[in-house]
Chains A and B, each alone.
Chain A
């Protein structure tokens, strides 16, 4: 089944180009904040030599698009991969013309295969209270105002509303202006026009406009990751009011799942991933294992334990972007099909290159465990090579003691905050900027309910957006409320978010920070990936 899925023109050289592009961006985006204190790269959790990720995915970087100048925005050409996407389009164009039906059928099969009843019943009365009451709506539509996605209810039922949305967008743009958001008591509507798509978010939470539009970008890239921007542009250039759902049918659950991740995974907020706590010896052994099990077309080897990174090995000079990694996580996390065997699927990693497809070999090392191996290759014909890499890695692994350590680690993928030894400290999130990794203890009892969990993340999100305000950022923020006391602190080296008992004092918060940083330093080789490897 995989065969006809990936006979698309994701040519190696343009990924290489994409890679280069990425590297350039890496330099340009290094946020050199003037903050004194820990020098970047020396903070607890900082990687030893080179890091794994495109660097300093500061909040500003992600929203940069929407900040940038309008005309570029309107005409919708993308920064990266403008040049190279041209050629690709030709090729794809032909492909599409030729077997477009087949393609679509195939895709539908594929997505459907992954989905299998994951998406809950979506029939909802879009005029009813229940529908309005949803905390966050997300809509995607084409520039022709055609519905592409809605988080709740069915696109059909919402076509008129989406029509209005498009009308508003274009009305304002007619004045050489850009609509950003509408604010009312208790909710806000945020617009994001990324040609050829228009995304609209409606949030009832106190979430800031910027945060919301950032999440819309995630959704945008999620869609791009399925089709590549090149193909998107192409489709709409040829058929203005094309119904994109025909291409995306069955993929809604990916977006659904992504949106859920955004609700409770601080990683997407911080542009970082967290790793499985593991003794560095064991981790290094695993990394070495992946390093050995290489293939010429292999760009990234990623070992996951659920949503936690165990290790990642990459081609020299090729960096993976968090967002792309999160999209991979999302792909894996939202599809049960990969448990049934080795999956082989094309995927565009938009932050790497919006124009072309990679090909991901996805498989669980054991049926029972949630150890998942993702091998990303540039070669659409590479399935069997990669399958072989997997085998080699496994064989080597089974012989190593590291394997046992890994097994144990899997049983306790996290740790209680009490290990830090500060009674009033209930929870925290620590991000090492240079390694792009974060660590955070398991949720304390009162936050384990879904409601409270999401609330806590919302609080962190609130702190985050205050610290990273585009025009008046803050060094630190202390907030004492009726449910918890919060403290957030950003330096050039790290970001720290703490949640205390509301009866904790400021003095306590101060001492806690020092104590916590010591503790993390002590634990860093277990909590972080200090020695990332390349092939």
Chain B
């Protein structure tokens, strides 16, 4: 598989920590995404590495035996530890002076499975017999019980965002009981059952913690169940089953992801994609639950792309020449040193690395042939813009091989749908702002513009402008594409920017397709605007009818009367200009000088006489005197008139 086919990769700069060893235990806290390296039980120090350097801490604590679990509360306020040997918990503030508090309440023979912080000072303990919800009063250094619930627990999963705790109950362990935590309250959510491939006789724990994950996909919380292949049920292979866990209401099975193979798997969720790693093939596949499969039931999904390995990662080994070390996660799935955490974390304890898993979009372009599907896929990804644009350019340069145009059309439509949705949101928002009533203004928040919003200027600058420059593409196709884009915009009632029209015109003019241009304008495909009208005017020398077209446009704009006058004057149509001004009732305010100048330039005595007389009469009408005001600066014209037609031809007030 060639370099550009890896569509999954690990972050360039992983979090590094001291690798696990006999003296150094490594823990990971999904809530804070912190790695704890506890050397000899903390006596020789605890180093905490977070996703960023700010959150990394180092401290010592006395060795009280093997640590079972260690986590900071949110914001590194309080550290909680849990030791294995004797069921003792110790809570300590970050100043390492420690207080052990033996919790009296819970039953002797209950064994602690673990705990999780739901807030900076709230903690839940999970034992095999139930959960207890405490508030830490750390000045008193005591715990205050908030709530408790006794229930048989096989194992638990905690999803920090949104703080939901999932308990595996019953013998088979496939009945899951979720709890939701919200500042100081603990609420029990309706429990639900995971359908197992087969029920073992006699009943025994049958749903392993490893096969369940909780993740937020497209803003919804899902319980992700890795359903292994079973010989009895003739299923094509293992599946991933998604149970939707709504805030209110009960959990429902919503999606089935077909893995089409068997073996050992691991899950991640990256950029709202479900990533499934397959051990034996050393490859991974991704699913997009929003990608509808046309030819099968709504909620069954196939992998978006063919299976591929994660891009090999190069670990620099100090002292040795850097060697490419192919990271193949899946081989290590079983070994405890390689572990996968939600949503997108992969840790190699033995090597002391923490990576984030990422989706590379560029490779998907070649792997997903169906451009429409590809677009839908890309439009939902985080950093999609440049990729989408490159896809567009590529698709166009792909040139006029048959049947390309319909594809182009669908792609444009998909882009513009998203674009339109954003515009509408924007619009609704600004409307709400204007209506200003406070209850709106806070309920509405400004719509965020995702990268998926590809507007006209994006298309213009990154795709169309250079595309139209392409020499090797037939102009027929270029124009077809431009018209498609304009068509699509119109279909979504998006006002087209004039620079697109200019592009069309430029292209048409380049190839002398004036008649085409004329027809487009005739049907107002290129909507009216002053800039466009001016552009047309500039074409007049090469294509005379452009003059008429631009005049029509100016007329339709109905705000361009001045421009019309200018155009007419520039064509020496002084009479026409004046008639027009009169038709729009502006003839009492226009500058006499302007028209007299124009008339003079035509060297048409007759015309000059006409115009001059007209203004003489205007003067007479407006101020009972045919003479011009000094303010009008018509002296030279008066002089000229006398010179040509004689003093006596000047209008006399007497004549009326």
Tell me, yes or no, whether B645 is within 8 Å of chain A by CB: yes
Tell me, yes or no, whether A64 is within 8 Å of chain B by CB: no
Give A355 to B517 CA distance when docked, in angstroms: 72
Give A343 to B610 CA distance when docked, in angstroms: 48
B148 CB to closest chain A CB (Å) equals: 98
Give A483 to B605 CA distance when docked, in angstroms: 11
Of the listed stretches A96-104, A242-250, A316-324, A416-424, chain B binds A416-424
Give residues of chain A (334-349) contacting chain B, Cβ–Cβ below 8 Å. Answer: none
What residue of chain A has the Cβ atom nearest to residue B614's Cβ?
A: A503
Tell me, yes or no, whether A69 is within 8 Å of chain B by CB: no
Interface of B is mostly: helix
Of the listed stretches B407-415, B463-471, B648-656, chain A binds B648-656
Against A, the Cβ 8 Å flags (1 = close, 0 = not) of B617-656 are: 1001000000000000000000000000110010100011
Against B, the Cβ 8 Å flags (1 = close, 0 = not) of A340-367 are: 0000000000000000000000000000
Q: Assuming the A-B contacts A423-B651, A501-B614, are A452 and B609 also in contact, with contact meaning beta carbons closer than 8 angstroms in the complex?
A: no
What residue of chain A has the Cβ atom nearest to residue B587's Cβ?
A: A503
Against B, the Cβ 8 Å flags (1 = close, 0 = not) of A386-429 are: 00000000000000000000000000000000100101100000
Tell me, yes or no, whether B555 is within 8 Å of chain A by CB: no
Tell me, yes or no, whether B387 is within 8 Å of chain A by CB: no
Tell me, yes or no, whether A446 is within 8 Å of chain B by CB: yes
Q: Assuming the A-B contacts A445-B646, A446-B609, are A424 and B575 also in contact, with contact meaning beta carbons closer than 8 angstroms in the complex?
A: no
What residue of chain A has the Cβ atom nearest to residue B617's Cβ?
A: A423
Give A446 to B646 CA distance when docked, in angstroms: 11
Tell me, yes or no, whether A68 is within 8 Å of chain B by CB: no
- List B contacts of A446 (CB < 8 A): 605-606, 609, 645
B609 and A445 form a contact (CB under 8 A):
yes
Q: Assuming the A-B contacts A445-B646, A483-B606, are A501 and B575 also in contact, with contact meaning beta carbons closer than 8 angstroms in the complex?
A: no
A421 and B655 form a contact (CB under 8 A):
yes
- List A contacts of B645 (CB < 8 A): 445-446
B304 CB to closest chain A CB (Å) equals: 71
What residue of chain A has the Cβ atom nearest to residue B578's Cβ?
A: A503
B626 CB to closest chain A CB (Å) equals: 9
What residue of chain B has the Cβ atom nearest to residue A455's Cβ?
A: B606
Give A23 to B336 CA distance when docked, in angstroms: 138
Tell me, yes or no, whether A163 is within 8 Å of chain B by CB: no
Q: Which of the residues B575, B646, B651 comes within 8 Å of A502, measured between beta carbons?
A: B575
B656 and A423 form a contact (CB under 8 A):
yes
Q: Which of the residues B620, B649, B656 comes within 8 Å of A445, measured between beta carbons?
A: B649
B610 and A423 form a contact (CB under 8 A):
no
A421 and B610 form a contact (CB under 8 A):
no
Tell me, yes or no, whether B579 is within 8 Å of chain A by CB: yes
B655 and A418 form a contact (CB under 8 A):
yes
Give A501 to B615 CA distance when docked, in angstroms: 12
Give A529 to B539 CA distance when docked, in angstroms: 63
Tell me, yes or no, whether A28 is within 8 Å of chain B by CB: no
A423 and B655 form a contact (CB under 8 A):
yes
Interface centre among B611, B620, B655 (most CB of A within 10 A): B655
What residue of chain A has the Cβ atom nearest to residue B573's Cβ?
A: A482
Tell me, yes or no, whether B613 is within 8 Å of chain A by CB: yes
Give A304 to B603 CA distance when docked, in angstroms: 41
- List B contacts of A482 (CB < 8 A): 575
What residue of chain A has the Cβ atom nearest to residue B579's Cβ?
A: A503
- List B contacts of A503 (CB < 8 A): 575, 578-579, 582, 610-611, 613-614
A501 and B656 form a contact (CB under 8 A):
no
- List B contacts of A423 (CB < 8 A): 613, 617, 620, 651, 655-656
Against A, the Cβ 8 Å flags (1 = close, 0 = not) of B575-589 are: 100110010000000
What residue of chain A has the Cβ atom nearest to residue B615's Cβ?
A: A503
Give A501 to B110 CA distance when docked, in angstroms: 113
Give A512 to B606 CA distance when docked, in angstroms: 22
Give A170 to B617 CA distance when docked, in angstroms: 60
B202 CB to closest chain A CB (Å) equals: 109
- List A contacts of B606 (CB < 8 A): 446, 452, 483
A426 CB to closest chain B CB (Å) equals: 9
What residue of chain B has the Cβ atom nearest to residue A483's Cβ?
A: B606
Interface centre among A424, A483, A503 (most CB of B within 10 A): A503
A501 and B613 form a contact (CB under 8 A):
yes
What residue of chain A has the Cβ atom nearest to residue B648's Cβ?
A: A445
A501 and B610 form a contact (CB under 8 A):
yes
- List A contacts of B575 (CB < 8 A): 482, 502-503
- List B contacts of A452 (CB < 8 A): 606
Give residues of chain B (427-475) contacting chain A, Cβ–Cβ below 8 Å. Answer: none
B117 CB to closest chain A CB (Å) equals: 90
A297 CB to closest chain B CB (Å) equals: 50
- List A contacts of B620 (CB < 8 A): 423
- List B contacts of A501 (CB < 8 A): 610, 613-614
- List B contacts of A445 (CB < 8 A): 609, 645-646, 649
B116 CB to closest chain A CB (Å) equals: 91
Give A502 to B607 CA distance when docked, in angstroms: 9
B1 CB to closest chain A CB (Å) equals: 78
Against B, the Cβ 8 Å flags (1 = close, 0 = not) of A480-519 are: 0011000000000000000001110000000000000000
- List A contacts of B579 (CB < 8 A): 503
B602 CB to closest chain A CB (Å) equals: 11
Against B, the Cβ 8 Å flags (1 = close, 0 = not) of A124-142 are: 0000000000000000000
Give A503 to B575 CA distance when docked, in angstroms: 8
What residue of chain A has the Cβ atom nearest to residue B626's Cβ?
A: A423
B628 CB to closest chain A CB (Å) equals: 16
Give A482 to B602 CA distance when docked, in angstroms: 13
- List B contacts of A421 (CB < 8 A): 655-656
- List A contacts of B610 (CB < 8 A): 483, 501-503
Give A424 to B621 CA distance when docked, in angstroms: 13
Give A445 to B609 CA distance when docked, in angstroms: 9
What residue of chain A has the Cβ atom nearest to residue B651's Cβ?
A: A423
B655 and A424 form a contact (CB under 8 A):
no
A229 CB to closest chain B CB (Å) equals: 45
Give residues of chain B (591-615) contacting chain A, Cβ–Cβ below 8 Å. Answer: 605-607, 609-611, 613-614
Give A359 to B486 CA distance when docked, in angstroms: 89
- List A contacts of B578 (CB < 8 A): 503
- List B contacts of A502 (CB < 8 A): 575, 610
Q: What are some 10 contacts across the A-B interface (CB < 8 A)?
A: A418-B655, A421-B656, A423-B655, A423-B656, A445-B645, A483-B607, A501-B613, A502-B575, A503-B578, A503-B579
Task: List A residues at the B interface (Cβ < 8 Å).
Answer: 418, 421, 423-424, 445-446, 452, 482-483, 501-503
Sample of 5 more A-B contacts, CB < 8 Å, known A482-B575, A503-B579, A503-B613: A446-B606, A483-B607, A483-B610, A501-B614, A503-B611
Task: List B residues at the A interface (Cβ < 8 Å).
Answer: 575, 578-579, 582, 605-607, 609-611, 613-614, 617, 620, 645-646, 649, 651, 655-656
7 smallest CB-CB distances across A and B, nearest first, come from A445-B645, A446-B609, A503-B614, A445-B649, A446-B606, A418-B655, A423-B617
